[in-house]
Amino acid sequence: MRPHAALVTLAAALATTTGTAPAYAYASADDPDPAPRPGVFLTVSGSDHTWIRGLKLMCTPEPAGHHPHAAEACAALDAVDGDLDQLPGTDPLCTKEYDPVTVTAAGTHHGQDIAWHETYANDCLRHAATDPVFDF
């Protein structure tokens, strides 16, 4: 199931149980191919999901959302055409501490679907590989 299709199904379930549709319910669960929504939902979570933070990054028509470095994050996504595996990263000076951190991205960037996740051995390595996109 595509990430945004799962979100539509969740929205329909919430609407059924609460009697109101959440703001992100943009299509019915019966719609096999809902229109993509602009923006990418980004998450960072700690080992065994003991903590998680997330936000939506909007890049069109201009950088927006709650990302503290939206312009830089959008520029980084633009530079790799939305392919997060191609982020250049930096040469890290990190310890060998093992405290895994997982990052995810789901949504659309300039009309291109993004469904991506990666786990790094620790937050320092995550920072070196993915900033500014996941710098929040």
- The per-residue pLDDT for 27 is 43
Nearest to 121 by CA among 92, 101, 135: 101
β-bridge mates for residue 34, sequence order: none
Q: How far apart are CA 78 and CA 90, in angstroms?
A: 18
This prediction has a pTM of 0.71
| 63 preceded by a cis bond (ω within 30 of 0) | no
For residue range 10-48, list pLDDT tens digits in order.
333 333 333 333 333 344 455 555 554 589 999 999 988
Q: How far apart are CA 97 and CA 122, in angstroms?
A: 7
Domain boundaries, the chain: 1-32, 36-130
- The per-residue pLDDT for 34 is 56
Is residue 124 a contact partner of residue 55, using CB atoms and an 8 Å limit?
Answer: no
What is the distance of C-alpha 9 from the center of its chain?
18
What is the distance of C-alpha 2 from the center of its chain?
14
Residue ranges in the chain whose pLDDT is less than 70? 1-37
CATH of domain 36-130: 3.30.350.10
Q: Which helix (H) or strand (E) holds 15?
A: helix 3-18
